[in-house]
Structure formats: C-alpha cells, structure tokens
Chains A and B, each alone.
Chain A
Amino acid sequence: MDKTNADKQKLLEKYPALQAWLGQRGQKRRPQPRRWFLPAAFLLVIFAMCVNTYGINIVEFYNEIGKVADGAEEKELTWYEASEALVEHWTDKTVEEMAFKDLLVELHGLEMRLLDRHFVRDADYSYSIVKDNHDWLQFITFEAQPREIVRRIEILQDLDIPILYVQPPTKHIEGYTEFPVTLNDHSDENVAANFALLDEAGVPYLDLRQAAEEDGLDKERMFYRTDHHWRVETALWAVGRTVQEIEELFGWQLDPDGDFCDPANWRKTDYGQNFLGSQGRRVGPYYAGLDDFTLLTPLFDTKFQTELKQHTGELKVFYGDFVTTIIDKTLLTEPSVYTNRYGAYWGADYPTLLADNLNNSRGKTVLLIKDSYGLPYGAFLATMVDKLYMVDLRYYNIENLSDYVESVKPDLILIMYC
C-alpha cells in the first residue's frame, strides 16, 4: 500500500461518517495528471521573448558587435576590455529592444498603482518617477553645477550682442509641489546658482517662475501631468512675457499690438486623453493616466522658409505656412498614445535650424539657444521676428558656438537652456 492510500485509510477509519458519505468515491485512485499548463506557458513566454527580442533584431545586434569592435580598435582596448564593452552594449541594447516592453511596463505601472506607490525606481536613478501631491509625475532634480553655457557666458558676451537668459518655470513648483519625505528636489537651488553667475557676469535674466506667480497662472494647467515639459499654452504665455521683457530691456517691439501673443489669435486643436509624456512612458498609462494635448496654430497669415539641420548633417528645407513648415503632423495622427505629441512643433530637436519669417523681413534676427522646452516657444516666437535661429547645445558643440553666432549675426541672443 503506498503512502497516499495508507493516509486515506487512516483518515477514513478516523471518520466513519465521512466514509459513509463518500461511499465508494473515496476508494477510487486516479493517477496524478501530468502538469502541462505552467511549464508550457513558461517555455512559450521565454521563447517568444527570445525570438522577439533577438530574433527580429538580429541585424541590429550584429551591428552592435561591429560598433564595439571598431570602438575597441580605435581606443586600442585589450581583448577583455573589449569583451566588457561588448557585454555592456549588448545588455543595454537587450533592455532597449526587449520584446513586449510597452505592455510589460504598463503591467508594472498597473502593479505600482494597485500598490499605491509614489516612487517608481528606474535602473537609472535620475529617471525614477515620483508621484507628487497633485498626482503629477516628476523626475527628481539633483544638485547640479550651473550649465556650461552659463559658466562660459563670456563666449557670447565677447561678441557684443545683447543677451537675455530666460528661465522657464520648473515642474517642481515651490510651495505647491510636495514630494514624499524621503526625496528632495534641487530645481530651485540649481536655478539660483545659475542666476548668481549671470548676476556676476551682468547678463539680464527673465525668471518665468516668478512671472507665472505674478500673472496668477493656473498651476494645474502649466505642465503636462505625464511629461516633464510645459504645456504648449504655457509656452505661448512665456513668449508673451519674453517679448515684454525684450521691450523693457532693449526697447524693441516684437509684438507691438499684442496680436501675436494673444491666445485668441491662435487656433486650438484638442487631442483629448491622447498623450503620454516622457515620464508617463516610463510607467505606462495605468499608473500615470493620459494627458490632453492642445495644438496651437496661428489664425493669422504666415509664410516661412525653414531649414532644419539633421543630426546626419543633411539639411531639410520647407516652404509654406506655419503648419506646413513647423508642424509635424505625423506625430499627431499616429494613434499610439506613446507618440511624442509635444514634438509636433518642428518634429524633433535639431542641432541647428532656421525659421525665416517671410512676412516680417524688416524684423529682428534672434538666436535661441535652447533645449526641448524651446520647441513650441521657438515656433511661436518665429512669428514675431524676421529670422529665428535655434541651436540645441545637446547636439551642438559649445566650442563652435561663437563662430556660429558670428555667422548668423543675430540682433539678440536668447538662452533658454535649463
């Protein structure tokens, strides 16, 4: 008699009523069925992940090996240093190309939401997500050195061209935003450090955080909940405040009648619950929810020629109205909420670009040194100047900046690179 039967017999002897109730059923012994479901599901999952991660990206992974080999040769790495570099690249590429990544991130976000977590750690700590007291998603801003462009502002000062530094509002708003107690945000300290250097150098600056407070901007509507950028509407307001500041500082009237900066002169196209910003993409829509996106396009007549310098060095030229030359409609029509709607202005960040406003050939030439905050800001500003040059210092070597400035000869340099 095997152990199961012996146990069964013992129990049935102990409880005769049970034996009576069960009748003959208790006596039957079925063979234990073989388990298929979990092992099969496990194999299915790991093989599906394998094929969809490596199988369909095999060329890219192969190229990665080539890249590392070239780099190793160039840097004269030893074989094991090259191996370490290859492993590092391969690992990063694997995580990047991981199959079903969006779905899995959404599942993780859902889990975090059900667990009511306010902090979702990322492998790169600086991209960890914090849910603040208004349920906005935030990155943590760490204590940082002032920006290089601020530390080396004399590069621009030596050119003897008026400069205005524009500090956009930070998503962590002093007195409004609260982080969980274990986390600290250093946005304000970093801005103060920038301002201290600008004061020292005698460069004027416009603090849009303070301006927003003065103008009583609705804090709830200043930023996307799921993106680290300001809303497009906030960017239009910021252009208005910049134009005022330019008039006060330099006496130039970029928008003499206030028409260009008047929201009433801009068409609003709403894309409700259609945008998952850069922060939301790290945790998925179940954790973050979705944002409404509003596209602002001018109701007045516009005519531009734009020249967008690609990362490859290729120049793309467009001619036509605001929508034809500045708006990338594909980023609005793409149904996936993961599409970066905010990038619809210009379509991407380019090392340099020129927007030549053909309706304002007697206006000013402005150079905007910018990061991604400058995308809608630059687009709106372009309607008020003759020529707007934009340089993105993330993709443009600061060492070549003064040569570039001299070549484009702007009347004003705006710096909005935070």
Chain B
Amino acid sequence: MLFSSVEFLCGFLPFTLMVYYLLPGRRLRNRFLLLASLFFYAWGEPLYVLLMLACIAGNYTFGLLAALFRRQDVKWLEKLGPWPARLNIVLMLAFNLGLLGVYKYAGFVVSNLNQSFGLQLEDPGLVLPIGISFFTFQGMSYVLDVFRGQAQARRNVLDVGLYVAFFPQLIAGPIVRYNTIAKEIDGRRENWRDFAAGVDLFIIGLGKKVLLANNFALIAEKIFDGATYDNPLEMAVAAAWIAAVAYTLQIYFDFSGYSDMALGLGRMFGFHFLPNFNYPYVARSVTDFWRRWHMSLSSWFRDYVYIPLGGNRLGLPRQIVNLFAVWLLTGLWHGANWTFVVWGLYYFCFLAVEKICREKLPKLAGLLGKIPLLGNLVTMLVVIIGWVIFRSADLSQAVQHIGLMFGVYGNPLTDEIFTFQMLENRVQLAVACVACLPLLPLLKRGLHRLHVVLGRGWVGVPLGVLRDCCLLLMLLLALAALAKGSYNPFIYFNF
C-alpha cells in the first residue's frame, strides 16, 4: 500500500488513527500498531509477510542471545570468552544478508554466472519482496545495537516486531536505528503539537510525491524508455538533459516526499525519526551531498561498516579501501544490476578524490571552495550524471545517454520534444527548482526575527494561517491528482 494511494488516505490512515487514539494504554496501542503494520505490508505482499515475520523472529532471537552473551554475571559464559557473541553476530548477518541475497541477488548472480561461464543454471525467478532492504537492515541494526551495549534487548517479540514492521518506515525507510526509537516504543507521549507537525510533514511529503515527482516521472519515462524517439541517437542534447534533470528531480521528490510522509506519520503516533534529507541539491561537494542524501542509509553504512572496518583511524590508504567497500555495498544495496554497482563505484571515485584532495592538497581544496557556486555546479553535474547511470536499464544505455547529453553522436542541440517538455512543464520545473533550495528554513529564520521584534500577533498569526491554507490546498490538489488516477510510480519501493 502506498501512502499516496486512495485506500491508504481514505481507509487505512483514518481507521488506524481512530482506533489507535481510542485504545487505552501504551501496550494495547503498540500491539494495535503492530497489527496494523502487518496488515499494511500484507496488503502489498500477502505471501512475503511471512518472510518479514521470520525476519522479526530471527532478529528477536539473535537480540536475546546478544544480550545474554553480554551478561557479566553468568560464569559459564565468561569461560567461553567473546566467541559466542561474535558467532551470534556472524549468524545474524548470515541470516539477514542471506534473506537479502536469496531474494534480491540470486537472479543477478545466476544470470552473471551463466553469461560468464556459459552455464545453464536456472533463474530462481523470485519476486523481490517490497522493502526487504529496509527491514533486514533495521533487524541488523537492532541486534548490533544490543551487541554493542547501546540498547537493551526486548523481552517481548512484539516490541521487536513493532520496531521492524512499523508501517511508516517499513517499505521505503528511513532506516530507523534501533537506539533512535528504543525509548519511544514504551515511553513516548503523543501530543497535539507533534500531531500538528506530523500533519505538516505528511502533507508536504504527499505534495512532493504526487504533485512534483509523478509529473517528472512522466518526462523521464517518456525519454529514457525510448517511447519518444524511433532512433535514440536522434535525441537532441537538450532533450537528453531534460530527461536527466527530470529524473534527478523525480528521485529527489519521490524519495524525500516519501521520507517526509514517513516522518510525519511517525510524529502523528508519537515517534520521532531522524530526517533523511537535508536539501541535497545545494551540496557544495560530493561528500557534502552524501551527508544530505538518504542520511539514514549513509549513517548506517558509516556506523556499521565503515567505522568497524577502521574508518579514518588507519591512514589514508586504508580509508580508501574502506570507502571502496562501503560504496560497493551501497551500490549493491540499491539493486541487483551492474548499473547500481557502477553507480556506487562512481561515487567512490569522487569521494576518494575529494578525500585525497582534502588531505594532500588542502590549499587547493580551500581555494576552490572559495569560488562561489563552483562546488555546487560541479556537484550537481556529478549527481545528474550519476542518476543517469542509476536510471538506465543497462550500462550501454547509460553510456549512450551520457554521450547524447554531451553531443558526442553529433546529435542536434535542441528539438521539438525538448521545447514541448519545457513549455508543458515550465511551472513544475520552476517550483521544483525553488523547492530544492533551503528557502523554507531561511524564511523561518527571518520570520523568527520578525516575531522577536514585532511580536507574534503581527506576523506569525497571518503567516501561520497562510501556511496552513497553502498546505490544505496542497492536500486537496494531491487528492485531486489521486482521484484522477494519475500516474503514481514509486522508485524506492524496489530497493
């Protein structure tokens, strides 16, 4: 079930909110949320909900064992040393990564083995369970946090179930770290202010997804999927760019919109998830971009892969090796296709170069950093080309599209298709460009100053009413687009 679907907005959400707030007591509310979350998942994956339940049960058991092996007061455990705890972690990783491997990568591995060695292995033909990358990563986060002593193991499997399966973050993240919400599972206090903030976030996310991302999806799909040109090499440079830019905007508004909705829903039920995006397209370097994009995934890899491998502590060459490992995994996490592997390694190259520059050529890096907008433009160029690799069906399409963007095939500079798409989407493009900039925080800061000087009644109340009216209009327009049955794809479902 998508958040941006009629059955969610008109059925699941109001029903869940109503029952949740009618139920007395934390325990009952948590049990209901778990039940609702399982129903939410089963709606899209009636069979794979069993797989998710297995994932919950497995990680619950590994969590208990991790807690047991940390106990100092059991003598026979002391005698065994650290090996049982480590073995438990190895088994937990094998379990979670095994699930991922079988369902996400088996087909990829088989087809590559067949191609490389001329084998005739049968493709298992497994359908990718929705959100498997997210719930397995959350499961691992839980056990690792317990193993490291950063959190207590849950005695009740239903609590672990709620953490892993909680519907706002279940199928498309953010990847919520266990220690972020461990206390809130039992001790959260729902209140109207949080609820109101949640509504704001949810509507903004819905608007980003339905009003912007879905629209850019149409442009990108039309050009990338070859429906527009009989011969793709006839595509004009400008048309190739508009497709790349449209996808760049689609993936941002799609994923950040979904994350905003998840954060908003969490707030409505009293949970505070960490933000997943921080205006990534204003980044001044690739490193900065990855501090702002899909922050929950970046920090997961940083804390559970990069730092355990040695992080920055073992010298530059080792850092580069660690970085390589992280970005190979990041690429693979996004999908079982060579385009994702290359995309991950593409970022590894830029991040490694930036790291080396910072360490070995600090003056040059400082100098370049002082040129206004240079960093932003170069970063955006890197990011847009990265998304072309990410979006392409295979590497040859990626290379071809990048070639078309730079006119290497002697393709024309512009054509009617570019002109039409620009004219047809001019308003959305303008709105999207503005929405990529951190204007809201700037405006908020400015307003805060005005509040301070003039008092809230002079500025805050009218602007508050204006903001609420705009958000309400956004909600109605999003519902209107859904009523029309508009195109409503979702990218991060597949990861």
Contact = CB atoms under 8 A, between A and B. Distances in A.
A67 interface: no
Given A30-B456, A37-B465, A49-B9, A181 B417 contact: yes
A83 B464 contact: no
A115 interface: yes
Given A39-B196, A42-B199, A123-B487, A30 B455 contact: yes
B98 interface: no
Contacts of A101: 483
Interface string B114-157: 00000000000000000000000000000000000000000000
B47 A37 contact: no
A209 interface: no
A45 B482 CA distance: 14
Contact of A22 (B14, B43, B453, B479): B453
A53 B11 contact: yes
A30 B15 CA distance: 37
Given A41-B472, A118-B424, A182-B222, A123 B485 contact: yes
Given A38-B199, A53-B10, A283-B484, 6 more contacts: A28-B455, A41-B468, A49-B479, A101-B483, A105-B484, A124-B485
B420 A181 contact: yes
B456 A121 contact: no
User: What are the 5 A-B residue pairs with the smallest beta carbon separation, nearest first?
Assistant: A123-B485, A104-B483, A83-B46, A108-B480, A38-B468
A8 B419 CA distance: 51
A317 B449 CA distance: 78
Nearest to B5: A91
Interface centre among A28, A101, A108 (most CB of B within 10 A): A108
Contact of A39 (B42, B199, B218, B421): B199
Interface string A283-318: 100000000000000000000000000000000000
A79 B424 CA distance: 46
B452 interface: yes
A258 interface: no
B228 interface: yes
Question: What DSSP secondary structure best describes chain A's contact surface?
Answer: helix
A95 B468 CA distance: 27
Contacts of A8: 452-453
Interface centre among B5, B17, B196, B427 (most CB of A within 10 A): B196
| Interface range, B side | 35 or more
A18 B453 contact: yes
20 contacts: A11-B452, A25-B454, A26-B455, A38-B471, A41-B468, A46-B9, A50-B15, A94-B6, A94-B10, A104-B476, A107-B476, A108-B477, A108-B481, A116-B424, A122-B484, A122-B485, A122-B487, A123-B485, A180-B424, A283-B484
Nearest to B198: A39
| Interface range, A side | 35 or more
B11 A282 contact: no
Interface of A: 4, 7-8, 11-12, 18, 22, 25-26, 28, 30, 32-35, 37-39, 41-43, 45-47, 49-50, 53-54, 79-80, 83-84, 87, 90-91, 94-95, 98-101, 104-105, 107-108, 111, 115-124, 180-182, 282-283
Interface in B144-194: 192-193
A118 B42 CA distance: 38
A95 B6 contact: yes
B239 to A, nearest CB: 10
B260 interface: no
A32 B455 CA distance: 10
A195 B416 CA distance: 33
B263 interface: no
Interface string B1-28: 0000111011101110110000000000
